[in-house]
């Protein structure tokens, strides 16, 4: 075989240094945003002054599903104002996001300040599938938090009202949440009742 047809394959000395291709954060929503847009807001039982809604949460604000690009828009900064968020790598965040998205039972909802390109509030609706109540679904509202700079803009009320209506739209037989005693009166505004049951837990790590 002539030298013109002979090719020696060599491994680049930089090949081992090149990072493995990873999924980059983007604006793909965790769930279909149309389900928020189609909620019947006339069923809302809470008063807002001034009036706001999922379609019009306030000047420069957008209420929508979480996307992975929100990692770079301060999502964890907001969560950290509620509880210990921990140190989360982009890979961990995307892996957890994709798990939630595939399950179809997580509705992590955010409010973005589009003028700043920052997440300013978030809340989550989790759907549990039960064998009881004729294999019904139960909703749970978790991780409701508004950034300190945006408190007083009714965003916590808006997220709670929105996810409560969403649980009804998804045919949950009931919805529950856990809160501190000082927040009981706040959640009563949305029709939530204080249960006779006790909330108990074990913590294995922070």
CATH value at residue 75:
3.40.630.30
How many domains does the structure of the chain reveal?
1
For residue 125, is pLDDT > 60? yes
The reply to whether 191 falls in a domain is: no
List Cβ neighbours of 119 (8 Å cut-off, separation of 6 or more): 70, 73, 74, 75, 77, 78, 110, 111, 112, 113, 147
For residue 122, is pLDDT > 70? yes
The reply to whether 138 falls in a domain is: yes
Q: Band of the pLDDT at 10, cuts 50, 70, 90? A: very low
The reply to whether 12 falls in a domain is: no
- Residue 17: what pLDDT? 42
pLDDT tens, residue by residue, 38-78: 999 999 999 999 999 999 999 999 999 999 999 999 999 99
For residue 19, is pLDDT > 70? no
* Residue with the larger pLDDT of the pair 16 and 105: 105
- φ, ψ dihedrals at 110, nearest 5°: -130, 160
- Residue 16: what pLDDT? 41
The parent domain of residue 157 ranges over: 25-180
The reply to whether 32 falls in a domain is: yes
- Residue 64: what pLDDT? 99
pLDDT tens, residue by residue, 23-33: 688 999 999 99
Peptide bond preceding 50: is omega within 30 degrees of 0, i.e. cis?
yes
What pTM was estimated for this model as a whole? 0.86
For residue 206, is pLDDT > 90? no
The reply to whether 188 falls in a domain is: no
Which position has the token pair 């399950």? 103
- Residue 5: what pLDDT? 47
The reply to whether 197 falls in a domain is: no
The reply to whether 131 falls in a domain is: yes
- Residue 23: what pLDDT? 64
* Residue with the larger pLDDT of the pair 148 and 19: 148
Looking at residues 72-89, what average pLDDT do you find?
94
Which position has the token pair 């994709």? 98
The reply to whether 90 falls in a domain is: yes
Q: Band of the pLDDT at 170, cuts 50, 70, 90? A: very high
Q: Give the whole-angstrom CA distance, residue 107 versus residue 125.
A: 5
Q: Give the whole-angstrom CA distance, residue 183 versus residue 16.
A: 54
For the chain, what is the mean pLDDT?
90
Which position has the token pair 């599938």? 129
For residue 12, is pLDDT > 80? no
């Amino acid at each position: 075989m002539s030298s013109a047809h002979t090719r020696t394959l060599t491994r680049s000395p930089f090949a081992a240094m090149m990072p493995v291709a990873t999924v980059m954060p983007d604006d793909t929503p965790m769930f279909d945003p149309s389900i928020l847009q189609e909620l019947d807001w006339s069923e809302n039982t809470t008063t807002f002054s001034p009036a706001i809604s999922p379609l019009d949460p306030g000047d420069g604000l957008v209420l929508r599903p979480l996307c992975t690009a929100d990692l770079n828009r301060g999502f964890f900064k907001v969560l950290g104002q509620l509880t210990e968020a921990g140190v989360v790598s982009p890979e961990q965040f995307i892996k957890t996001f994709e798990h939630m998205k595939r399950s179809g039972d997580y509705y992590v909802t955010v409010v973005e300040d589009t003028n700043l390109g920052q997440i300013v509030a978030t809340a989550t609706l989790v759907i549990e599938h039960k064998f009881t109540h004729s294999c019904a679904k139960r909703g749970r509202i978790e991780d409701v938090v508004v950034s300190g700079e945006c408190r007083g803009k009714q965003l916590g009320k808006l997220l709670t009202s929105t996810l409560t209506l969403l649980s009804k739209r998804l045919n949950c037989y009931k919805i529950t949440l856990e809160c501190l005693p000082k927040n009981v009166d706040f959640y009563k505004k949305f029709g939530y009742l204080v249960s006779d049951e006790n909330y108990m837990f074990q913590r294995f790590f922070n």
